[in-house]
């Protein structure tokens, strides 16, 4: 018997009780049962994002919310700065270019975070900048960016610039305080820290960003944030929502609120720390110089083929990890700590990792990774 276990940074495992709630008979989205769900969801999303702004939920993947953050906020000919330090930073550039905007790229080596100074310098060199597009946790490299310091530095330089954050693998995993940090848009997706299946995206918008939205002349219909906000204020949605996913979302948000958001962040920090220490004790090299607590990107040891590693860990141990993307394909694997995981889940992962590495011929000391991880949890 081999159990299947998912350790990918989205989709993440869904609590069994949530899966079963979503299997209940279908209800209609314009009837009171569903409005009750939306009311609870909308309230608890504010808590999750640490904001008093409304948080809109779109039926799409997180990329839809990223597009909404461009198409609603900017206007024809606008200049925006974006940081490209991985596949998801690159996506900001692709969206800005799809709308034929003046997209100024800050290209980072993958695994290295941008500094507040670099962002502010680029903004200074491009005084027409309306918005800065950032990635809080770059999923392709497992890298965290100090969005708090960047938002502060950008707004100190020019208080009209919107700071827009892809929080897709950070919200519900890493400390993120929209209002306190003065962030203008934060987006996330349902299949990440929120622990439910993919199909919903969430977007929170500040007063500063709404001012830009009022002036925007780019086309938007399905992702029109003004329509979404109008519906939100009535605990409604402009289009037919993914009803079953909202049912799961209501429960997931209640679980996170019950745990307490500070505890959720601390749990992710500890899980990530244990995996990082375990990997280091096995002599593995981590990719990122500023590791995210949502996932850990680890280099495949020299002399080991990723394909073989992945086949053993999946077929023999039932564990699905993520591989590398872009030029990192075949060079790294990525272990998720994001969402519905506890400390013992990380020990399970570490046990499978050690055994897989031995089987693919890596020179490691059995037990060293487990011991180091255990020490993080028990110290």
Binding residues for a second copy (CB under 8 A):
4, 6, 8, 10-14, 19-20, 22-31, 59-64, 67, 71, 94-95, 98-100, 189, 191, 197-199, 218-224, 239-245, 320, 322
* Phi and psi at residue 88, to the nearest 5°: -90, -30
C-beta of 181 vs 341, nearer to a second copy:
341
Determine phi and psi for 166, rounding to 5 degrees.
Answer: -75, 105
Burial of residue 3, with CB atoms counted within 10 A of its CB: 0-12 exposed, 13-18 middle, 19 or more buried: exposed
CB of 290 to a second copy, least distance (A): 25
> At closest approach, how far in Å is the CB of 201 from a second copy?
9
As measured in angstroms, the least distance from the Cβ of 178 to a second copy is 23
Q: Which is nearer to a second copy, 50 or 72 (CB)?
A: 72
Is the Cβ of residue 86 or residue 197 nearer to a second copy in the bound state?
197
Q: How far is the CB of 200 from a second copy (least distance, A)?
A: 8
Task: Indicate the residue among 240 and 289 with the shorter CB distance to a second copy.
Answer: 240
Residue with Cβ nearer a second copy (269 or 308): 308
Q: Least distance in Å: CB of 372 to a second copy?
A: 27
Q: Is the peptide bond before 11 cis (omega within 30 degrees of 0)?
A: yes
| Nearest-approach distance from CB 195 to a second copy, in angstroms | 10
Q: Closest CB to a second copy among 94 and 359?
A: 94
């Amino acid at each position: 018997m081999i159990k299947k276990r998912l350790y990918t940074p989205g989709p993440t495992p869904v609590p069994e009780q949530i899966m079963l709630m979503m299997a209940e008979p279908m209800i209609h989205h314009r009837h009171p049962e569903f409005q009750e769900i939306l009311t609870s969801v909308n309230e608890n999303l504010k808590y999750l994002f640490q904001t008093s702004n409304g948080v809109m939920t779109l039926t799409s993947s997180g990329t839809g919310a990223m597009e909404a953050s461009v198409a609603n906020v900017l206007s024809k000919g606008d200049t925006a700065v974006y940081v490209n330090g991985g596949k998801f930073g690159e996506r900001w550039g692709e969206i800005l270019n799809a709308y034929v905007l003046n997209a100024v790229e800050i290209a980072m080596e993958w695994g290295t975070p941008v500094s507040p100074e670099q962002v502010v310098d680029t903004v200074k060199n491009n005084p027409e900048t309306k918005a800065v597009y950032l990635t809080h946790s770059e999923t392709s490299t497992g890298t965290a960016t100090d969005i708090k310091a960047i938002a502060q530095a950008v707004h100190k330089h020019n208080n009209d610039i919107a700071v827009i954050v892809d929080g897709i693998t950070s919200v519900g995993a890493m400390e993120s305080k929209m209002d306190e940090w003065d962030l203008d848009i934060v987006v996330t997706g349902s299949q990440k820290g929120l622990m439910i299946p993919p199909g919903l995206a969430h977007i929170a918008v500040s007063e500063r960003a709404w001012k830009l939205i009022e002036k925007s002349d780019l086309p938007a219909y399905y992702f029109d944030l003004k329509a979404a906000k109008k519906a939100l204020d009535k605990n409604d949605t402009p289009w037919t929502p993914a009803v079953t996913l909202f049912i799961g979302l209501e429960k997931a948000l209640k679980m996170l609120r019950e745990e307490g958001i500070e505890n959720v962040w601390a749990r992710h920090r500890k899980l990530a720390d244990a995996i990082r220490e375990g990997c280091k004790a096995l002599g593995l090299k981590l990719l990122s110089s500023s590791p995210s607590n949502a996932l850990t990107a680890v280099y495949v040891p020299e002399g080991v083929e990723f394909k073989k590693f992945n086949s053993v860990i999946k077929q023999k141990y039932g564990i699905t990890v993520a591989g590398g993307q872009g030029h990192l394909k075949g060079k790294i694997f990525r272990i998720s700590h994001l969402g519905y995981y506890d400390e013992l889940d990380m020990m399970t992962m570490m046990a499978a990792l050690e055994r897989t590495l031995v089987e693919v011929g890596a020179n490691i000391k059995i037990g060293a990774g487990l011991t180091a991880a255990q020490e993080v949890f028990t110290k």
